[in-house]
Every structure is written in structure tokens, then in C-alpha cells.
Chain A
């Protein structure tokens, strides 16, 4: 009932705006038709495909394809000027700078130690964040898939943070975690000791991971829930006839059939975790020190926010990121094919 009324209100609003927008839109559409009709007469129906794809292809070419190629060039030039003609060609120097390390396990020994700290922090972040996301979204999906009261409500509860912007998410938790914040308040009431969570080198990474799991978990829960619901109920009936218990149901029916979905979740969360930037940037700014500074923040700082803008180094680092994403994607295709064959 309420839904119908809501819809009626929306329709009323549209109807209200309609006399204004409709003639304008009609004019525009007729004008385009007037331009395209002679074109169609000339090139024929089949070639109209080129016309329709043109605007998208143009934007794609200028803002995606061309920059992708140009990125190689930037990675091989030096200096601080933006325009390519002002930039001296340096070959692979930028990569040499990035990889100039006495000992790769010790970022201190590297020329670009911030880059390597970024790489190490990213690896640590990705490992913890992805495993936590897979674990908790699986548990949540299993719980939501049970016969529960108000499933729709609970599903929305876990999904809601997914929609919030990274800046908003970071500010919400910055406020909760600050020294005079509500978390310390609760801990002190319970007799614990308050901490400066985001300034504590041992805790900052934990909270960075925690907050991003909080914000993203609902998305993966939803995918897993869809996977669970596509498992035919007859299989559970059959297994219960065979006398299987709950654990055996999970181990021998749910898990094997959920594997493809789990794989999707793993790959998607992995690819997103490698690119993490905004939430951490607002929450800790990469601190304390460089404790939570990830690879993308290095790319941003080196190219755009430092006093001296080293575009070449930034582009080289972004190519390292691009190559890691490419490897992950290829791995997905490879393993994805295998798992669908199995």
C-alpha cells in the first residue's frame, strides 16, 4: 500500500516537471533525428552502428585509450614539467629509481623507501582485508540465508555502509576512534585503558582494515547470498534423506556449490583492495608515520600533492600497480576457467 502511494508521488512529481522538460527533450530529439536522417540515407542502415558508437568511443579514446599509451611515455621521461614536449627522455631510469634497493625486504635501504613501504603496506593490507572480508561476508550470508524474521531488514543493515562515500565512512570512524571518542568511553567504563587508536603504530593498520571491512562487507555478502539462494533446495532434501547433519550439509553441499561465487568475491575484493586509497587517506592520512600509506597514496603524493611533482615516477609506480592488476585479472581468468571445468 505504502509502496503504491510512494510510486504515485514520484509519478506526480514527474508529471509536474513534464510540461517543462518534455518540449525541450522533444525538440532535442527531433533535431538529432533531422541531422541523422540524411546521414542514414547516405551510409545505409548497417553503418549507422558507427554513428551510435561514436560519442562513447570518442570519450573512451581520449580519456582512456590515449592516456593508457601515453602513460608508457610518461614513465620514461623525467623532470617536473607536465607537457610531454618539455620532458627529457630518461629511458628506464624511473623504474631503476623505484627498484634501487640494497635489500628488498628492508624499505630503509631503498632509494624510494616510501614506494616500498607502500608496496609492503599494500600487501599486508590486502592479505588481512581480503581474508576478513571473505570470512565475515560468508558468515553473514549464511546467517541471512537461514529462516529468520525480517530478513529484508537485516540484509539492508549489513548493506547500508556500502553506499556511504569513503570520506563519510572515514569521518564516522575518525569520530568514533578519536581519543575522547565513544570507543574509549565504553572501554573505560568497562575498566579498560583508552588509547589513541589511529596514532598507535600497532593499532592503526588494524583499524584501517576494520573500517574498510565494515564499509565493504555488505556488498560481498549480497553476492554470496545470491549464490546461496541459487543452490537447489532438493540437494538439501536429498542429503537429509541420507542422514547428513548440518556440518556435513555445509561441507558437502553448500561449499562445493558456492565455490564459484566465493571465487568471484575473492577476485573482486582483491582487485579493489589493491587500489585502496580514499578511505585511508581521510582516516589516517597514511600515518602514523607511513604505517598505513599504501601504493596508490604514493602515486598520488609523488605526482600531485608534493611540492615537486614527479610525474614520471608517479606514472612508473602506477604501471607497477597496473601490472599487478593485470596479473590478478589473468589469474582470475585462468583459475576461473579451471574451476568451471572441474
Chain B
């Protein structure tokens, strides 16, 4: 016990060179603590709020935890009744269940003694009895049925767009990178420069003409219209090409002598060896596609084709924002990315630090 305390004390005052904590260290940890509160606080607040009932959300100042009024089953009544603490004129208190309310008067019954006469109470004299309880219905209602918010359809569309787009991006980008790094053909360098020069040209700059192309193909309100235009990413080509340049050409020549076809070499040698770079690109692609907003917003105008981001935006833009559902669905939307981050955190951070892209 004593030893533990000393160890914890030493751990907390740990510094390089073994010296004690100084002002700079104190400031460092103060900054980190404030930073943690600021970075995680709003997200945690969102999660906590998403478990509050609609009535609980309008309380101000907002309580930290999700409280709900206690409901009791009273003999002789079909539905559970809300429980209140009633303060009598003499200052005594007791817990009563409310049967109905008429104007400023509430009719109450004693749950322990339901046969006794109903008590009439001024509504100012009663306070709801509350307990901490999670409002799972915020999460379950949208899954079952909610007007104007078809959660499952949006989720399905988002998953479809993210997975198909990522698969296509990985295949065509790696094929192009293979061609650019392992073959000599006329115009190769020109094509590479052309790809790379569009790195800084986002789709925002060419919205109208891309929209025309999509409409001409008949991909308006079609998930292909969201998936295909962004599939040939210059970032992916650059990343994969740089990586494939490090794969020795001798390996390819050896395979050719053994009679392997070029496609075979791509599939059996290049792809397995480029796996680390492919993994980084896959993570980025999943992130880009899952979070994408402006382009899907333009291509998809019908409810049935909305992705989660577009659906969520439409839902929160309604005249009467149903915050209890919006919050719960926001939590569901950030969950997959959070899980990916939790498992692949090291991979993502080193990937970004070394490639400098997002």
C-alpha cells in the first residue's frame, strides 16, 4: 500500500532526467487536461444527451445524466402513473401518483393505498420523482419507423457507397500505379503529371459539368453517381506509385521468365507486396466516403437514395427539430468511424504523419 503510493507519486512527477515536476510540466499537463475536456467533452455530452427523453432534453440548465420520471403501477389503473413528491401545507411530504390533471389541480392517489380517496393537489405543490434511466427508444424508434427518416435505407446506402467505392478505388488506382511505376510507354510521364496536377482541384470547382455528365448517364438519384466520379483519386495513385517504385524490378523479371502473365504479376506479386500502402489508402477512402457530403447532396435528391450524412442533414433541417432522435442518430453515425479509429489508431496516425494527407 505504502509502496504503491510512493510509486504513483513518482509516476505523476515523472520527468526526463528524473527531476521533480516544474512549472513547465505543470503547464503542460494543464494544457493536456483542458484539451482533453474540450476535445472529448462535446462528444461525450452528445452521447449522454442522446439517452435523454424528449421531456428531459428541454430541461434547463441541462442535468448531466439522463433522468426520467418514475412511473408506478397502481392497482385499479391500466397504465402506469407518474410519481410525484407532494408537499403539504404544513411542510410534510409524501409520494403520490398522479391520476389526471385538470387545470392547475392534479388528482393524486397513494400507490400504497390505492383504495383510499383521491387527493386533490395544486400542481405547484408537487415535484416529479426522477431516476437515472436511459431512453433507448431514441435509438429504437428510428430503426422501426419514423416519418421522413428511413434510417436503415440511409445506413444501407452509406455502407454500399463506402465499400463499393473503396474497392473500386483500390483496384483501379493500384492498376494505374503499377503501370506508372513498372512500365515504360509513350506518354507515361505526361499522364502522371496530369493526374498529380489535379490534386489541388477539388470537385467543388467542377460541380456543374460533373453534374451534367452524371445526368446524361442517368445516374442522378443513383448511388453510382456518388461512387464513380471520385474513384480515380490522384492521392491514391501518388501514394501507391511511390510505394511500388520500391519493389525491385528483378522480382517481376524472374516471374516473367517463369512464364507469368502481366496480370498474374500484378495480382500475385505487386498487390501482396503493396499491402501496407493499400491499407493506408483503404482507411482514407473509407473515411472520405463515409463522411462525404456536398457531392451526395447534389446527386441524391430523393429520400430513398440518401446516405446517412445527407439524411441526417435533412432530418435536422426540419422545422421542428426532433433533437432526441437527431442526437441518437448522430451517435450511430459517428460510431463506425470511432470503432475504426479505436482499432487502427496507430496505423492511421503514422499513415497521416508519413504521407501528410487526409
> In A13-69, which residues have CB < 8 Å from any B CB?
29, 32-33, 36-37, 40, 45-53, 55-57, 59-60, 62-68
| Complex partner residue of B337 from A60, A146, A165, CB under 8 angstroms | A165
> In A275-309, which residues have CB < 8 Å from any B CB?
275, 277-278, 281-282, 285, 296, 299-300, 303-304
In the complex, residue of chain A having the shortest beta-carbon distance to the beta carbon of B16: A147
Residues of A within 8 A of B (CB): 6, 29, 32-33, 36-37, 40, 45-53, 55-57, 59-60, 62-68, 70-71, 74, 82-84, 139-140, 143, 146-149, 152, 154-168, 171-176, 180-182, 184-186, 188-189, 214, 218-219, 222-223, 225-226, 246, 264, 268, 271, 275, 277-278, 281-282, 285, 296, 299-300, 303-304, 311, 314-315, 318-319, 321-322, 325-326, 328-329
In the complex, residue of chain B having the shortest beta-carbon distance to the beta carbon of A148: B28
A272 and B154 alpha carbons, distance in the complex (Å): 28
User: Do the beta carbons of A50 and B204 come within 8 Å of each other?
Assistant: no
CB distance from B226 to the nearest CB of A (A): 12
CB distance from A215 to the nearest CB of B (A): 10
CB distance from B87 to the nearest CB of A (A): 26
Instruction: Collect the chain B residues with CB atoms within 8 Å of residue A159's CB.
Output: 348-349
CB distance from A233 to the nearest CB of B (A): 11
A249 and B225 alpha carbons, distance in the complex (Å): 54
User: Do the beta carbons of B36 and A64 come within 8 Å of each other?
Assistant: no
Given A66-B213, A322-B201, the answer on whether A49 and B312 have CB atoms closer than 8 Å is no
> In B14-39, which residues have CB < 8 Å from any A CB?
14-16, 24-25, 28-29, 31-32, 35-36, 38-39
CB distance from A264 to the nearest CB of B (A): 6
Instruction: Collect the chain B residues with CB atoms within 8 Å of residue A71's CB.
Output: 205-206, 208-209
B263 interface residue, CB < 8 Å from A? yes
Instruction: Collect the chain B residues with CB atoms within 8 Å of residue A303's CB.
Output: 207-208, 211
Q: How many residues of B contact A (CB 8 A)?
A: 102
User: Do the beta carbons of A68 and B206 come within 8 Å of each other?
Assistant: yes
Q: Which of the listed residues A46, A139, A168, A180 has the most CB atoms from chain B within 10 Å of its own CB?
A: A168
B60 interface residue, CB < 8 Å from A? yes
B134 interface residue, CB < 8 Å from A? no
Given A52-B179, A172-B46, A223-B352, the answer on whether A163 and B201 have CB atoms closer than 8 Å is no
| Complex partner residue of A143 from B31, B231, B354, CB under 8 angstroms | B31
User: Do the beta carbons of B39 and A278 come within 8 Å of each other?
Assistant: no
User: Do the beta carbons of B32 and A56 come within 8 Å of each other?
Assistant: no
Residues of B within 8 A of A (CB): 11-12, 14-16, 24-25, 28-29, 31-32, 35-36, 38-40, 42-43, 45-46, 49, 58, 60-62, 171-173, 175-176, 178-180, 182-185, 188, 191, 194-195, 198, 200-202, 204-213, 215-216, 228-232, 237, 256, 261-264, 266-267, 287, 290-291, 293-294, 297-298, 309, 312-313, 316-317, 323, 326-327, 330, 333-334, 337-338, 340-341, 343, 345-346, 348-349, 352-354, 356, 358
Q: Which of the listed residues B43, B294, B323, B327 has the most CB atoms from chain A within 10 Å of its own CB?
A: B294
A313 and B349 alpha carbons, distance in the complex (Å): 41
User: Do the beta carbons of B316 and A53 come within 8 Å of each other?
Assistant: no
In the complex, residue of chain B having the shortest beta-carbon distance to the beta carbon of A73: B209
CB distance from B3 to the nearest CB of A (A): 19
User: Do the beta carbons of B39 and A282 come within 8 Å of each other?
Assistant: no
Interface of chain B, main secondary structure: helix
User: Do the beta carbons of B62 and A315 come within 8 Å of each other?
Assistant: no
What are 13 A-B contacts with C-beta separation under 8 Å?
A51-B262, A56-B176, A149-B12, A156-B345, A158-B35, A158-B39, A160-B39, A165-B290, A168-B330, A171-B312, A175-B327, A185-B61, A321-B204
Instruction: Collect the chain A residues with CB atoms within 8 Å of residue B195's CB.
Output: 60
User: Do the beta carbons of A226 and B354 come within 8 Å of each other?
Assistant: yes
Given A82-B211, A185-B61, A311-B208, the answer on whether A36 and B291 have CB atoms closer than 8 Å is no
User: Do the beta carbons of B194 and A67 come within 8 Å of each other?
Assistant: no
List 6 tightest A-B contacts by C-beta distance, closest first. A49-B183, A185-B61, A165-B291, A67-B209, A56-B176, A52-B179
CB distance from B51 to the nearest CB of A (A): 13
A315 and B171 alpha carbons, distance in the complex (Å): 32
Instruction: Collect the chain A residues with CB atoms within 8 Å of residue B293's CB.
Output: 165-167, 277-278
- Additional A-B contact list (15), CB under 8 Å, known A171-B330, A303-B208: A29-B267, A46-B184, A52-B178, A52-B266, A60-B232, A64-B229, A158-B35, A159-B349, A163-B340, A165-B293, A172-B45, A185-B62, A186-B61, A282-B316, A329-B200
Instruction: Collect the chain B residues with CB atoms within 8 Å of residue A33's CB.
Output: 261, 263-264, 267
User: Do the beta carbons of B206 and A59 come within 8 Å of each other?
Assistant: no
User: Do the beta carbons of B62 and A181 come within 8 Å of each other?
Assistant: yes
User: Do the beta carbons of B62 and A182 come within 8 Å of each other?
Assistant: yes
User: Do the beta carbons of A59 and B232 come within 8 Å of each other?
Assistant: yes
Instruction: Collect the chain B residues with CB atoms within 8 Å of residue A167's CB.
Output: 291, 293, 309, 312-313, 333
User: Do the beta carbons of B209 and A74 come within 8 Å of each other?
Assistant: yes
Instruction: Collect the chain B residues with CB atoms within 8 Å of residue A155's CB.
Output: 349
Given A175-B45, A264-B356, the answer on whether A63 and B334 have CB atoms closer than 8 Å is no
User: Do the beta carbons of B232 and A64 come within 8 Å of each other?
Assistant: yes
User: Do the beta carbons of B353 and A49 come within 8 Å of each other?
Assistant: no
Given A70-B209, A157-B36, the answer on whether A223 and B202 have CB atoms closer than 8 Å is no
A276 and B12 alpha carbons, distance in the complex (Å): 42
User: Do the beta carbons of A82 and B263 come within 8 Å of each other?
Assistant: no
User: Do the beta carbons of A40 and B313 come within 8 Å of each other?
Assistant: no
A311 and B188 alpha carbons, distance in the complex (Å): 35
Instruction: Collect the chain A residues with CB atoms within 8 Å of residue B287's CB.
Output: 163
A68 and B107 alpha carbons, distance in the complex (Å): 72
Instruction: Collect the chain B residues with CB atoms within 8 Å of residue A55's CB.
Output: 171-172, 175-176
